[in-house]
Amino acid sequence: MKNAIWAGNNLRHKPYIWGGGHGSFSDDGYDCSGTVSYALRGAGAIAAPLPSSDLMRYGERGRGRWFTIYARPGHTFAVIAGLRLDTTDFQNGGKTGPRWHVDMRDTRGYIARHPAGM
């Protein structure tokens, strides 16, 4: 789990770029699913980036103990060890790009999935 957190930390000040993180894990900026894919790779849970539609079917159903992916058409975010890794910010001036958030967001309309064993 620490590796997923460290991966998220590596993205903290990267900008939001639509499609970012999909051609390669190494990119100048990341979109929502690119961000979640990067964290999953850090955890050793995937070998290639996944779009939101694939993250809706990834892993096991429901919330995980340490790592939960919330996916819907058009947006994905993750909750890792109680913190939200997301590219949107509703509380602090609307900054975009990969960031950690202590506040949760409404998960209605999202499908909760988690990596096996996490």
Going by CATH, does the domain composed of 2-114 fall within 3.90.420.10? no
> Among residues 49, 53, 113, which one has the least CA distance to residue 79?
113
Q: State residue 86 phi and psi, 5-degree precision.
A: -150, 160
Q: Where are the domains of the chain?
A: 2-114
The predicted pLDDT at position 65 comes to 95
- pTM, to two decimals: 0.93
Q: Note down pLDDT in tens along the chain; length 118 residues.
A: 799 999 999 999 899 999 999 988 999 999 999 999 999 999 999 999 999 999 999 999 999 999 999 999 999 999 999 999 999 865 555 668 899 999 999 999 999 999 998 9
